[in-house]
Structure 1
Amino acid sequence: MAGGASSLDGKLLVAAIDFGTAYSGYAFSFRSDYRLDPLKIEVNHWTGNASQTMSPKAPSSVLLNPDKTFKSFGYTAEEEYSSLVENGQHQEWYFFTKIKMRLLYKEKISRTDIIEDECGKPMLGLTILSMIIRYLKNDLFKKLEQRGTSLRDQDILWVVTVPAIWSDAAKQFTKEATKEAGIKSDDVMLVYEPEAAALYCRFQNMQNIFNAEKESYLSKKKMLVFDMGGGTTDISVIEIKSEKEIHIVERACGGAFGGVFINNKFILWLEEVFGKDMIKEFKKKHRSDFMLLIENFETKKRLIKPGDDTKLCFQIPHSLKTSSERRWGCSLEEHFIKMDIVGVQVHKRGKIFIMSSFLLNNFFLPIAKDIFEKLRFVLSKHEDIDSVLAVGGLAQSSALVSEIRNYVKDIPVYVPFDSALAVVSGAVLYGHGNNIIKARACPYSYGIQTMRPFIKGDDETKKVVQEGETWCKQCFRALYKAGDLVKLGDVSSYDLEESFEDENRKHKRFLPIRCVLFISNDKDVRYVTDKGCTEHGTIEIEAPEDGFPVHYECTVELEFAGTEIIARLNDKKGAKTIRLEFMT
């Protein structure tokens, strides 16, 4: 199946899981409904035991029992853990949050990677992620059963969203977590978040786009997608060839800028004001109050409007106010007067008024600066971009959208009403028609190590002589070059010959043949030892039961156009898919 796409044959429903750093959720639609109305997508809504607010996403938090079995997820997990903390009963329990950021944004990823819970107790990251996916899967089945709809596992195609800037190892880790969660490999596919968002917005009517004015958003041919989530911001450039053909024409870029980092910046500021030890104690003894304070900030930060420097009110919890005043020996008002923070005022009964410009300049823009510079760089490479699509939770911040407009100048910026749901809804659409994305820009130069005849100008240190022939070793044989547009179904191949005739190699007939896959950000790479060229993965050919022939010849094909790289083997016994290993 091209590009790692999964077949819709026999599927009755497409379900998408949007696993985010801060919040997660799922959406689904039936095949029969999609044929009549593609936008008839149902998004699950969540609520906690104590909260009456319905939300389309739940915190990406999970609580485990002391015996490491699953207890709860989302709002319920946070509320139950807060109760355990405040009653001093949490030490034996396991509570994990922001798993995605802590586990999958690393250069090297392993199945044995561990993450620590709030108290420092370790667990396998793969186990935690699979527990969350299993819970979301089971919750969908529960919702369907409550409606009287009974489906089997094989009736559902699952689509899991991933950041476009993720490594192949992170994507492989995610696929293996879905398998451990009880979803067969053939029933799951991955989709890049900005691509999913773009698909969703292409299906929307004009009335559902902010700031559209008189221009037709649907007529735009080349758009930049600016996806601002909880942990990362992804920037992609998408070219609309037709209603049924989309090309991703720029390598995804971005970085660690999202809602979580802005919230963390606010927490660091609280530590400066109240003291690090005080905030640590407050979080431990009054966790519910701490969470309410952060939720208040989460809400207020979205009210910041460009050019409107208003006062935003924050209620300091009574528990934090009284314990701080006891330690300081003065009132909260007196303490803030001593600190003399411009842009912040304190009123009686623990109310703090912070100017929106203070929040913007101290918590938003310092983190966003690098991302905006990458935005400027991409725009300089694609001067024919005619629109910018801002999606993700942070797209609800009019102040940040205003900053984007400052950077893109005269290019119109569109923001969907439901920008936070564009990714998960688009992932459902992608599941129904994943062949609409016909080509993608290759993220790296991919290649293997080869030896070729030595020519003038080659590195003398690479020269070797074998059987009277002069060869150049450690050469990079490019399979695809960084930035090249790779069409769906395109393959790059190389021939492989192995001889096991030598006495010292006979035993290797029964061992797997492994070939290292190298990557580089550079378009033109000469040697695998060049700066920036690194080992990326391993292509593995398993030995037959009776071992490889003494003289073995085969062709290895690699397909890059999808979200996952597919490796296939062709030899005298036929063709088959073989393993590509990206994790350590």
Structure 2
Amino acid sequence: MKLTFLLNNAITNADERMAMSRSFKECGSDEARDDDDDPDICSHCATDGKLQPALYFCFNCGVYGRYMCGICLRQHNRFVKNHEIEKIANRSACNRLDYENKKTMKVEKDLKSKEAEVMLLEEQVNEYSKVNQCHQERIKDLETACQNLEKEKNQGEKMATRNLEHLQNILKDKTKTAADEYKNLLAKMDNLQDRAQENDLKVKSLQHSNEELHKENAALLTELKQVKSENENLSKELIGCKNVLAVEGEKFDHKTKIQECERDTNRKGSKLIFKGKDDSYTGYSRQGEIADGKLHSGDVRTIEYKPVVVAIEIGNTGSCCAYAFKHESIRRRIYAIDEWYCGSGCKKVSIENRSVVLFDENKKFHSFGFEADDAYVILAENGEHTKWFYFKNLTMKLRGSDITRDFEIDDDKGKKMKAIDVFGAVIQYLKDYLLDQLKTRGPEVQNNDIHWVLTVPAIWTDSAKQFMREAAYSADIAESQLTIITEPEAAIVYFQMENQIEQLTTVDISSPGTKCMVIDLGGNTADFTILERQSDGGLSEIKSATGIACGENMVIEEFHELLRNITGDAVYQKWIVDGHPGDQTDLQNEIESKTRTLKTYSTGKVTFRFPDSLPNTFKEINHESIQQAIERSQYKGRITWLSDKIRIDKEIVKTLFKPCTDRIVGLVNLLLKEPGVQGTSIFLIVAKAQIVQKAIKKAFPTVNVIIPKEPDLAVLKGAVIYGHQH
């Protein structure tokens, strides 16, 4: 499936280049005419309906080059450096032949690039074949184990039958002596004593577990005290911020601020907020929709001065928000939202809210995040969820497609809604939630006082990025207050600021030519983006391999496979089929929380809070508790199931990460073999799981591996810093 996705992506990029070539023909490019005796027309002026003779030709713009007049050449040179320009006025036949040869060489270069991509795809196919072979071998091992268990079962039944016959013979034997009966009684007494000792050991084990739980409780109480103390300090700081804001509000002069920004940037308030993949910048208009109905992203916009910067990260499985006041030093404070509403009306403490959204049967927005999850569980338990619209894995739905305003996406039941309505509702909810939070920080902040920054995956096409702009516009965010930045660029911005303040490492990623691979581990997928620092200080994307299925959900699947091995396939399938959506959602949240915070050096056992629906299902089918079954299995002494908790040896938990880490290391090795990626000396890991971090460090000992202080917030806070600087 992933190979098909990569092939489709390559075909889509080729189609985009063909479409761009056709647009050049239609607007007066040299490719549009076969008669070379006619004068060449400026391609840029032709898009506005002007027939301006061309005096220059750029070999690097577009697919086959681009003609320009003198005015457009000066505009071109303001934003693009190192392009090959040739003066074409009164060009001789020899020069024209040289131009045709250069075009031929460019086409051959593009063909070689495509051949390299095909070779990479073939290597990935071989890698997937090896993985498939490993899975087949594992299936054979499991089948062999099942056969052995069946043999042991048959042997046990035979032994039980023989013992029963033996006891019947003893009962029939009336000549058994009193001495033999006495010996049997002694044996029974010994057996009872052994069972009593076993019970004593179990009691001691339970007491030990109780002591550990008491220790954990004491640690939690200590942490609670620290949190309360921090909360008191924040309250004091909040009062100070309110006083500062009150004073600054009296002194604030908007016109003076704009003049200061103009002097600092020498651009009269204009802010460069998004950089294209080809390192070029183009103009933009809100009416930038061409006749084919597709959305096209622009790059240069004017951002007005705003006193507050707010960043929103809508991830595939989780979304988060943060903000900062421009009158405060960005080094001192970036506020991240860490409380979200739940279905019960209370708040859940978490940096990330779940990226799920719920609409009623009339396609009217109902709820988002944890609140949507809880509401949907109640609807499912009452059988009322079939007519509602429940969307999850949001960002995956915008990958690898040409997005239009009428583009539709499927919910979990296959029902369709317009994507612009779904994403617009999500941005509207997060915007309103942030405005409510900002009201508690001081003088009331309005929407017009905010510079909004949205993060997007690097793999997204320009039409997908423009789609997010349109979704933000539908949420009442103006064009002059919106910035879009890719996630890898935001992560690098955060690391540079963090390293500048705290001097965490001597690694320098600001030198021209430095290549850095940003590894972002998400819920369903992992993204790998290689960026190179340019001489003008910007970042150019060399290679991007995103949407690879080796995220945190791969670890969760291994955990469910462990449960299947413990309970048996019949019990596990009945638990899934009977439908316990609330329990399954709570279990997934618990697994995500524990696996992210698991220390690589820790030993002992990990405690997971577990719903009682699975133990009840096991007892209903097998007429015994899960713990009794574990005592007879290979997990005896390594896994303990106590009521609503399961305690698993940490070494077992660490093995759940192996398929994920092996795949990540394999993919990074493949990327490093590509010609353009060779020489990458820095890895920036945006993943909180320490086991993943350690696996990458071990696999690549010669590479400088950088892990930000807050890896799960690196993209979000980097977006805030970027907005603060611009």
* Alignment counterpart, residue 506 of structure 2, candidates 216, 223, 226: 216
1:298 aligns with 2:592: yes
* Alignment counterpart, residue 280 of structure 1, candidates 546, 565, 576: 576
| Residue of structure 2 in register with 1:472 after alignment | none
1:37 aligns with 2:330: yes
* CA displacement 1:502-523 (0-9 Å, x = unmatched): xxxxxxxxxxxxxxxxxxxxxx
Please give the TM-score of this superposition, normalised by the length of structure 2: 0.52
- Structure with higher Rg: it is 2
1:355 CA drift (Å): 3.8
* Alignment counterpart, residue 716 of structure 2, candidates 399, 424, 434: 424
**Amino acid across the alignment from 1:200:** Y
Pairing of 1:362-377 with structure 2 (within 5 A): 362=656, 364-377=657-670
**Secondary structure of residue in 2 paired with 1:423:** helix
Change (3 A) 1:333 1:162: same
| Residue of structure 2 in register with 1:128 after alignment | 422
| Residue of structure 2 in register with 1:172 after alignment | 466
| Residue of structure 2 in register with 1:405 after alignment | 697
**Amino acid across the alignment from 2:358:** L
**Amino acid across the alignment from 1:229:** G
**Amino acid across the alignment from 1:427:** A
| Residue of structure 1 in register with 2:251 after alignment | none
Say whether the 8 Å CA contact 1:302–1:397 is kept in structure 2: yes
* Alignment counterpart, residue 322 of structure 2, candidates 27, 36, 40: 27
**Secondary structure of residue in 2 paired with 1:15:** strand
1:18 aligns with 2:313: yes
Say whether the 8 Å CA contact 2:359–2:390 is kept in structure 1: yes
* CA displacement 1:473-509 (0-9 Å, x = unmatched): xxxxxxxxxxxxxxxxxxxxxxxxxxxxxxxxxxxxx
Q: For residues 65 and 105 of structure 1, what CA distance do their matches in structure 2 show? A: 26
Pairing of 1:495-510 with structure 2 (within 5 A): none
Q: For residues 60 and 75 of structure 1, what CA distance do their matches in structure 2 show? A: 9
| Residue of structure 1 in register with 2:518 after alignment | 225
**Amino acid across the alignment from 1:162:** V
1:194 CA drift (Å): 1.3
Give % identity.
Answer: 28
1:349 CA drift (Å): 3.2
* CA displacement 1:205-238 (0-9 Å, x = unmatched): 46868xx5xx524577433322222233222334
1:409 CA drift (Å): 1.0
| Residue of structure 2 in register with 1:97 after alignment | 392
Instruction: Give the count of matched residue pairs.
Output: 420
Change (3 A) 1:71 1:52: closer
| Residue of structure 2 in register with 1:525 after alignment | none
Q: For residues 281 and 313 of structure 1, what CA distance do their matches in structure 2 show? A: 26
**Secondary structure of residue in 2 paired with 1:299:** helix
1:248 CA drift (Å): 3.0
1:21 CA drift (Å): 1.0
1:156 CA drift (Å): 3.0
1:338 CA drift (Å): 7.1
Pairing of 1:449-528 with structure 2 (within 5 A): none
| Residue of structure 2 in register with 1:191 after alignment | 485
**Secondary structure of residue in 1 paired with 2:639:** strand
Change (3 A) 1:261 1:180: farther
1:9 aligns with 2:304: yes
| Residue of structure 1 in register with 2:495 after alignment | 201
* CA displacement 1:427-460 (0-9 Å, x = unmatched): 12223446xxxxxxxxxxxxxxxxxxxxxxxxxx
**Secondary structure of residue in 1 paired with 2:362:** coil
The structure whose residues are more often helix, as a share, is 2
**Secondary structure of residue in 2 paired with 1:204:** helix
**345-354 or 313-322, which deviates more:** 345-354
Pairing of 1:339-354 with structure 2 (within 5 A): 340=634, 345-349=639-643, 351-354=645-648
Change (3 A) 1:231 1:39: farther
1:74 aligns with 2:364: no
1:339 CA drift (Å): 6.8
| Residue of structure 2 in register with 1:258 after alignment | 551
**Amino acid across the alignment from 2:665:** F
| Residue of structure 2 in register with 1:248 after alignment | 540
1:19 CA drift (Å): 0.3
Change (3 A) 1:339 1:188: farther
Change (3 A) 1:294 1:353: same
Q: For residues 172 and 225 of structure 1, what CA distance do their matches in structure 2 show? A: 23
**Secondary structure of residue in 1 paired with 2:349:** coil
* CA displacement 1:186-214 (0-9 Å, x = unmatched): 432321111101101100146868xx5xx
Change (3 A) 1:315 1:10: closer
**Amino acid across the alignment from 2:437:** K
For structure 1, list consecutive stretches of 5 or more residues without a partner in the other structure.
435-584
**Secondary structure of residue in 1 paired with 2:339:** coil
Q: For residues 8 and 30 of structure 1, what CA distance do their matches in structure 2 show? A: 16
**Secondary structure of residue in 2 paired with 1:9:** coil
**Secondary structure of residue in 1 paired with 2:459:** coil
Change (3 A) 1:329 1:423: same
**Secondary structure of residue in 2 paired with 1:252:** strand
Change (3 A) 1:48 1:379: same
Say whether the 8 Å CA contact 1:114–1:122 is kept in structure 2: yes
Change (3 A) 1:6 1:54: farther
**Amino acid across the alignment from 1:157:** H
| Residue of structure 1 in register with 2:185 after alignment | none
Say whether the 8 Å CA contact 1:343–1:354 is kept in structure 2: no
1:24 CA drift (Å): 0.5
| Residue of structure 2 in register with 1:322 after alignment | 616
* CA displacement 1:343-393 (0-9 Å, x = unmatched): 96344436444344444444x3324444323322444555654432211xx
Change (3 A) 1:93 1:201: same
